[in-house]
Amino acid sequence: MNSCIFCKIASGEIPAEKIFETEHAIAFLDIMPRAPGHTMVIPKIHAENLSDLPREEVGPYFEACQRATDLIKKALTPDGFTLGMNYGRVSGQEVDHLHFHILPRWQGDGGHSLQSVVSNKPTEDVKIIAEKIRKAT
Ligand SMILES: [Zn+2]
């Protein structure tokens, strides 16, 4: 955990272009932005992914994600957003500390929809898949 770059940003050991900070989370500009205002929101405690984030931290964390999105919307007036997180190496997660990407979007910016990141259509019926997921509770 000590070598985690986002923990170091959370502790102030490594500087970042912070947008704001709460008791639970920090929003800062991505050092390699894909769009103007590309922002990341991280929880202050180390959690590798959404599943690792303690339940009591989920609400305050997503409130920070919402606040960051609203601030960017006011400041940069994008046409929309792509919001999301990579979970696991296979999805493109490069830092093992939960981070939510806020990507402001403009007409003609060359980007695509979030669902375009994968093309792996299921071979099973959606009812069978849904039943598997419901039974996993
Ligand atoms: Zn960390």
Report the CATH number that the domain containing residue 19 is assigned in CATH.
Answer: 3.30.428.10
How would residue 137 be classed by pLDDT, with cut points 50, 70 and 90?
Answer: confident
Whether 48 has a pLDDT exceeding 60, the answer reads: yes
The verdict on residue 116 lying in a domain is no
Alpha carbons 128 and 116: distance in angstroms, whole number = 23
Residues 102, 72: contact at Cβ < 8 Å? yes
Q: What mean pLDDT do residues 58-84 have?
A: 98
DSSP strand E in the chain: where?
18-21, 25-29, 39-43, 80-84, 100-105
Distance from Cα 125 to the centre of ligand 1, integer Å: 38
Residue 81: the pLDDT is 98
Total number of domains constituting the chain: 1
Does the annotation count 99 as an active-site position? Answer: yes
Q: How far apart are the first and last CA of the chain?
A: 30
Whether 1 has a pLDDT exceeding 90, the answer reads: no
Q: What mean pLDDT do residues 129-136 have?
A: 96
The verdict on residue 127 lying in a domain is no
Whether 47 has a pLDDT exceeding 60, the answer reads: yes
Domain, as residue range, for 79: 5-111
Distance from Cα 42 to the centre of ligand 1, integer Å: 9
